[in-house]
Amino acid sequence: MATRAAQTHLTPEEYITLERKAIPDAETVRSEYINGEIINMPGASFAHNLITNNISGELHARLKGSTCAVFANDMRISVPTAKSYFYPDVGVVCEDPRFEDDVFDSLLNPIVIVEVLSPSTEAYDRGEKFAHYRQLTSLQEYVLISQDQIRVDHYRRQERLWIFTDIEKHDETLQLPSIQCELPLQDIYARVTFPD
């Protein structure tokens, strides 16, 4: 469950210093940061990991030779206007990636972000996190993937609006026009079993 850590208010610089020290420590819980508060992120289920790897692998194969690069899990996204940092499950950056500083670990310009939903983080991913992501002028598409059923919620920026599409059939395809990719749901959900 995504929980707010019981700590005093931290500056963005204090948070980044803590995160950079924690990365080599395998027992440290990964955390996100929203305007002074640390949000502890839980570990992921097997289905969550399968879906994340499926999407990352499929996007990597489809974008090979393009100006876009795929990243998964450990690439921190900085939202300077919201003084926030997040770790999406999968993302895509095109052309020249821009970073917050010369450590190159806080990306500023993703074009696509994908979050695999967990029961404990779904409301956070749909609500507060998406509200912050929308402040990234580079972001063109936000995708939420259910791990408990076949369901993909796709948000696409169209000028100042976000257009919503839901996809719920195994034989349908997720269209990602900003990166000129199509992902069949059968590839996204390969080897995933659902609870009865």
pLDDT in tens, 99-143: 999 999 999 999 999 999 998 889 999 999 999 999 999 999 999
User: pTM of the entire structure?
Assistant: 0.89
Whole-number pLDDT of residue 81:
93
Q: Is residue 4 part of a domain?
A: no
- Strand order, beta sheet including 37-40: 3-4, 37-40, 31-34, 84-86, 76-79, 106-107
How sure is the predictor about 21, in pLDDT bands with cuts at 50, 70 and 90? confident
> pLDDT, tens digit, for every residue of 63-106?
999 999 999 988 999 999 999 999 999 999 999 999 999 999 99
Mean pLDDT for the chain?
A: 91
| Assigned domain for 29 exists | no
Pairing of strands 112-116, 141-145: parallel
Q: Exposed e or buried b for every residue in 114-143, given b needs 16+ CB within 10 A?
A: bbbbbeebbebbbeebbebbeebebbbbbb
Residue 6 belongs to a domain: no
By the 8 A CB rule, do 59 and 52 touch? no
**CA pair distance 158, 117, nearest whole angstrom:** 24
Instruction: Give the CATH number of the domain where residue 81 resides.
Output: 3.90.1570.10
Contacts of 159 (CB under 8 A, 6+ apart): none
Number of domains in the chain: 1
Supply the range of the domain harboring residue 50.
Answer: 44-188
For residue 19, tell me if it sits in a domain: no
Instruction: Round to the nearest angstrom and report the end-to-end CA distance of the chain.
Output: 23
Is residue 140 in a domain?
yes
- Asked whether residue 2 is assigned to any structural domain, the reply reads no
Q: Is 21 within the bounds of a domain? A: no
| Structural domain includes residue 23 | no
Residue 95 DSSP code = S
